[in-house]
Amino acid sequence: MTFGKLLTALIGLGFTGLLHAQSYPTRPIRVIVPWPPGQATDLAARIVADRLSQSMGQPFVMDNKPGAGGQIGTDMVAKAQPDGYTLLAASSGPVSIAPSLQKLPYDPLTNLSPISVVALNPFALVTYPTFAAANARDFVAKLKGEPGKYTFSSSGTGATAHLITEFFNSMAEVNTRHIPYKGSVPALTDLMGGQVDYTFETIPSVIAHIKSGRLKTYGVSSLKRSSAMPDVPTIAEAAGLTTFDIGSWMGYMAPAGLPKEIADKLASEIAKAVASPETRDRYLTLGMEQVSQTPTEMAAMLRREQDRFAAVIKKANIKVD
């Protein structure tokens, strides 16, 4: 093939891709949610999908495929056709954390295409109401003063809450014992009863308990204060851990090989959906923070998050059965 014919062919392919992106979507889009209905990822993705259905003129059909900590649904998308008609409601657990804990049937960085993050879920450092520390600095000092005495709960070994608490322990240079539970509810129940001393949990799961006085909080895990609890300081400011900034994320991904034009179009529409006052208000009731990214920005974030959680897992020697 001559150079001229090759150039013509390449231009033709680019033009075809552009036309495809301009007409996309022409039929309903399936969004696989690897969690049960009502879970945080499910809610965040549904809120955005409602607006995408309006702006893009085709239904975004939510399809819950829970199991194996989000891995079953994530793997389904990793093996689907990259035509833009199968998307993943992605989240930290099966994408950023699981690769460092166990062997997976997919590689999130090579078998999935990033589109955009849609929400961040900050966590709150909570204790039982009578824990004897006036503020976050006092709390850290108390834990440091008696290594090995204090305990923290989580919803299970390797869960996001477990890793975020281990990240805090490492930055604060404290030595405490992990007590894993089978879910957040029993973990928080024992925390409120004083059977364990502290934990980090999502703001939606603890905000009602904080307001009622059943839990006490010393700060939130994000670098910015939470919109849902603006009077609560960040751990960065309250404990003097100036770079402490961690939480869970939720977003949209697709099978690897998604055409760039379609990824960019979806990311652009998602940015509009996330920026709407309606989305802001609905996220606020859930304790979530609005955010959007380009596919390139999300790809960089995914690499950073996977590296960071891998370091936490290695340092704390966390293993799952």
pLDDT in tens, 100-154: 999 999 999 999 999 999 999 999 999 999 999 999 999 999 999 999 999 999 9
Structure token pair of residue 300: 């960089």
| Residue (of 79, 80, 67) closest to 35 by Cα position | 67
Superfamily of domain 29-120+249-316: Bordetella uptake gene, domain 1 (3.40.190.150)
Tell me how far apart the alpha carbons of residues 110 and 114 are, in angstroms, rounded to a whole number: 10
Read off the pLDDT band of 204 (50, 70, 90).
Answer: confident
List residues bridging with 117 in a β-sheet: 251
Which run of H or E residues covers position 298? helix 295-316
> How confident is the model over 234-259, as a mean pLDDT?
96
For residue 86, give the 3-state DSSP assignment.
strand
Q: What interhelical angle do 136-145 and 160-172 show, nearest 10?
A: 80
- DSSP labels for 245-299? --EEEEEEEEETT--HHHHHHHHHHHHHHHHSHHHHHHHHHHT-EE----HHHHH
pLDDT in tens, 188-203: 999 999 999 999 999 9
89 and 42 Cβ atoms separated by less than 8 Å: yes
Q: Classify residue 287 by its DSSP letter.
A: T
Residue 291: closest CA among 300, 279, 299, 302: 279
Predicted confidence band of residue 288 (pLDDT cuts 50, 70, 90)? very high
Q: Which pLDDT does position 320 carry in this prediction?
A: 86
CATH of 122-238, one of 3.40.640.10, 3.40.1360.10, 3.40.190.10, 1.20.1440.60: 3.40.190.10
Q: Where do we find the tokens 């699981």? A: 98
Q: How confident is the model at residue 13 (pLDDT cuts 50, 70, 90)?
A: low
CATH 3.40.190.150 domain span(s) along the chain = 29-120+249-316
Rounded to whole angstroms, the Cα distance separating 117 from 301 reads 9
Is residue 19 pLDDT above 90, yes or no?
Answer: no
The per-residue pLDDT of the chain, averaged, comes to 93
Tell me what pLDDT residue 22 has: 75
Task: Give the CA distances from residue 152 to residues 33, 174, 314, in Å, rounded to whole numbers and listed in that order.
Answer: 30, 12, 19
What pLDDT was estimated at residue 179?
97
Rounded CA separation 215/127 (Å):
6
Cα angle 32-302-112, degrees, rounded to a multiple of 5: 40
* DSSP β-bridge partners for residue 92: none
| Tokens matching residue 292 | 């959007």
Q: What residues have CB less than 8 Å from 171, skipping those under 6 apart?
A: 241, 243, 244
Q: Where in the chain is the domain with CATH 3.40.190.10?
A: 122-238
Rounded CA separation 246/244 (Å)? 7
